[in-house]
Amino acid sequence: MNWNLIGHEWAVQMLKQHVAQGTHRQAYLFTGPESVGRSTIALRFAQAINCPQPIELGEPCLECPTYSQLERYVHPDLAIIEADHRGGQLKVDQIRALQHGLALAPYDAQYRIAILQRFEEANRQAANALLKTLEEPPRQVVIILTAVSTDRLLPTIVSRCEVIRLRPVPAAVLIQGLSNKWQVDGDEAELLTHLSGGRPGYAFRLFQYPEEMSNRKSWLEDQLNLISSSRVNRFEYVESMAKNPQSVSEILKVWLSFWRDIMLRTSNSNSQITNIDYQEKINELAQRINYEQAYRMVVKLEQVFDNLARNANPRLTLEVLMLDLPKYHPQSQTSRE
């Protein structure tokens, strides 16, 4: 069995062996892109470690109160620590409160489990505070960190963890998993697989919340319209974005995937594009917009993400992006900046 996960079989098998042989570490770091399955596999590992009546060593029973409570994040020996919102900051007070709890003996399970989500969001004080616990963890404690990569973590923290690098799930595996686990039909499963980039969590979210698919379509249509719009209309769109700042990041992610697809087409790459349901429009634009323009838009969008993360003025940043957007009229045979 694969802990009811889609993909990541190698990681599950390794963790099962750690549990079965009693050789599991006291600190793990799961890395990989958002929604690839880091938190889910961390939770399954916690269930495998603490299940009182496993089907076999390393394979939780899926039925006992311990499994159920861990699944719902309400077990007294489970602590979930994270910033109060994505892109926020995990603070030192949260680590100190965690340390107080980890110093106590397990209440009900064999091990206390602490899952620290998106640990790249920890500030320096919080990271240094956790380092002290990682150097000498209490005996009946397992600490699990999740992060996009090791790049933004202290090397001393990474060196004290067993690092498990999760990769996007192969398309065929994810399509099959969507069909078997959630009864998604073939065409929809293929679309969700491409849109998610091999991330099961994101694919399921798109399936579970149709409004997210609707939003994506609206944002792609907006981008197509903006390419042929005047500067005034582009700035009006920025004004509308400013009224709903929570959606800005999601809009930019959709646009970035769109321009990457155009870049792939203009480079004559054989790689499959992400937005396969917009393939006709992407191919049309690739005939009018050259590789350099598409590449520059990918770079500029990535710069926008970076600038916004550094607290740049959102409105000014987005207005500059609109100025950089290539100009294309569907009736025209040429494009220009």
> How many domains does the chain fold into?
2
pLDDT tens digits, 61-105: 888 999 999 999 999 999 999 999 888 899 999 999 999 999 999
Q: Is 333 within a domain?
A: no
Q: Are residues 96 and 16 in the same domain?
A: yes
| Side-chain-side CA neighbours of residue 297 (13 Å) | 28
Please identify, among 132, 165, 198, the residue that sits at the C-terminal boundary of a domain.
165
Q: Are residues 218 and 306 in the same domain?
A: yes
Spatial separation of the C-alpha atoms in residues 73 and 41, rounded to whole Å:
14
Look at the block and give the residue holding tokens 């956790």.
130
Please identify, among 130, 165, 200, the residue that sits at the C-terminal boundary of a domain.
165
Which residues, 6+ apart, have CB-to-CB distance to 74 below 8 Å?
Answer: none
Q: Are residues 150 and 229 in the same domain?
A: no
Where on the phi/psi map is residue 58: left (φ > 0), alpha (ψ -120 to 50), or beta? left
Q: Are residues 237 and 151 in the same domain?
A: no
Q: Is 55 within a domain?
A: yes
Cα distances (Å, whole numbers) of residue 244 to 175, 197, 240, 312? 34, 26, 7, 17
Spatial separation of the C-alpha atoms in residues 272 and 284, rounded to whole Å:
16
Q: Is 217 within a domain?
A: yes
Cα distances (Å, whole numbers) of residue 280 to 57, 251, 285, 293? 51, 21, 9, 19
Q: Please, which pLDDT band fits residue 36 given cuts at 50, 70 and 90?
A: very high
pLDDT tens digits, 199-233: 999 999 999 999 999 999 999 999 999 999 999 99
pLDDT tens digits, 140-181: 999 999 999 999 899 999 999 999 999 999 999 999 999 999
Q: Are residues 37 and 96 in the same domain?
A: yes
Spatial separation of the C-alpha atoms in residues 196 and 3, rounded to whole Å:
21
pTM: 0.87
pLDDT at 327: 85
Residue 335 pLDDT greater than 80, yes or no: no
DSSP letter assigned to residue 276: G
**Residue 144 structural domain:** 9-165
3-state secondary structure 204-270: HHHHHCHHHHHHHHHHHHHHHHHHCCCHHHHHHHHHHHHCCHHHHHHHHHHHHHHHHHHHHHHCCCC
Spatial separation of the C-alpha atoms in residues 42 and 147, rounded to whole Å:
12
Sheet holding 78-81, edge to edge: 78-81, 112-116, 141-147, 27-31, 162-165
pLDDT at 329: 66
Q: Is 76 within a domain?
A: yes
pLDDT at 243: 86
Burial class (CB in 10 A: 0-12, 13-18, 19+), 28: buried
Q: Please, which pLDDT band fits residue 330 given cuts at 50, 70 and 90?
A: low
Q: Is 335 within a domain?
A: no
Q: What percent of the chain has pLDDT over 70?
A: 97
Mean pLDDT of the residues in the chain: 93
Q: Is 289 within a domain?
A: yes
Please identify, among 165, 191, 226, the residue that sits at the C-terminal boundary of a domain.
165
Handedness of CA 80, 85, 90, 95 (dihedral sign): negative
